[in-house]
Amino acid sequence: MNPEERHIFSVLVENRFGVLARVAGLFSGRGFNIDSLNVAETHDKSISQITLVTHGDAQIIEQIYQHLNRLIDVIEVTDLSTGTHVERELVLIKIGAKPHERAEILQVAEVFRARVVDVTTTSLALEITGDEGKLKAAIEVFDSYGILELARTGKIAMMRGFDS
């Protein structure tokens, strides 16, 4: 077995219904894993961007790349892992926080540069942005206070610099 690697694909697709199902179906039908998935319209309304994190050995990654390219609605596939890139994810965390716990949680939030987006008498909701390592650390720490709810965007990424 060859070593498994984590790869981030940026996939530009036609902004039509059914395209995501084709991309996802390609993974499910072949037993490839999707670790994270993000889809949104780009500045050009006719194009959507899919950011997809997956893992596999070199042969599987090559197959994923080729099969993505083979889909008719796929305009361009870039394996961002082949160059230096910026990677971010946003997570919303709701923590059970009694009034006397708030100060301590807010201090921890400061360390992770988290922003408070909602407060109630019994809970606190935070927004944290970062790469995988930072979010993992933050989630671990906040879990010690009791996470009530967690939502994350999935990773988005782009190459550094400008490549025409």
Partner 1 sequence: MELSGAKILVESLKREGVEYIFGLNGGAAMPIFDALYGETGVKLIPMRHEQGCSHAADGYARATGNVGVALATSGPGATNLVTGIATAYMDSIPMVAITGQVFTHYIGSDAFQECDVIGVTRPICKHSYLIQSSDEVADVVAEAFHIAKTGKPGPVIIDIAKDIQMHETLFRYPETVNIRSYKPQVDGDPGLVSQAAALIKNAKRPIIYAGGGVVLANASEELRQLTLKTGIPITVTLMGLGAFPETHPLAMEMPGMHGSCCANYAFTDADLVIAVGARFDDRVTGDLSKFAPNAKKIHIDIDPSCIGKNVPIDVPIVGDAKNVLTALNKQVSTANIDPWRAQIQEWKQKYPFEYEQKSDKVMPQYVIEQIYEHYSDAIVVGDVGQHQMWAAQYFKFTEPRQWLNSGGLGTMGFSLPAAIGAQLGCPDKTVVNINGDGSYIMTIQELVPAITLKLPLKIFIINNMYLGMVRQWQELFHGKRYSAVDYHDNPDFALLAQAFGATGIRVEHTEDVRPALQKAKGITDGPVVIDFIVDEEENVFPMVPAGAGLGDVVRGLS
Quote the least distance from Cβ 82 to partner 1, whole Å: 17
8 A C-beta contact, residue 85 and residue 158: yes
3-state secondary structure of 150: strand
Q: Cα–chain-centroid distance for residue 41?
A: 15
Binding of partner 1 by 31 (CB under 8 A): no
Smallest distance, partner 1 to C-beta of residue 64, A: 10
Burial 131-145 (b: 16+ CB within 10 A, else e): eeebbeebbeebeeb
Residues 62-101 as x/- pattern, contact with partner 1 by CB under 8 A = xx--xx-xx-xxxx--------------------------
Cβ distance to partner 1 smaller for residue 61 or 91:
61
Interacting residue with partner 1 among 1, 3, 29, 110 (CB under 8 A):
29
Please give the full DSSP string across 27-73, using - where no structure is assigned.
HHHHT---SEEEEEE-SSTTEEEEEEEEEE-HHHHHHHHHHHHHSTT
Round to the nearest angstrom and report the end-to-end CA distance of the chain. Answer: 37
Residue 4 touching partner 1 (CB under 8 A):
no
Nearer to partner 1, 11 or 80 (CB): 11
Helix, strand and coil content of the chain, in percent to the nearest 5, comes to 30, 40, 25
User: Which of residues 15 and 129 has its CB atom nearest to partner 1 in the complex?
Assistant: 15
Residue whose CB is less far from partner 1, 29 or 161: 29
Minimum Å gap between C-beta 16 and partner 1 is: 10
Q: Should residue 18 be labelled a site residue for partner 1 when binding is judged by CB under 8 A?
A: yes
Residues 63 and 58: their CA atoms lie apart, in Å, by: 9
Question: Contact positions toward partner 1, by CB under 8 A?
Answer: 13-14, 17-18, 21-22, 25, 29, 59, 62-63, 66-67, 69-70, 72-75
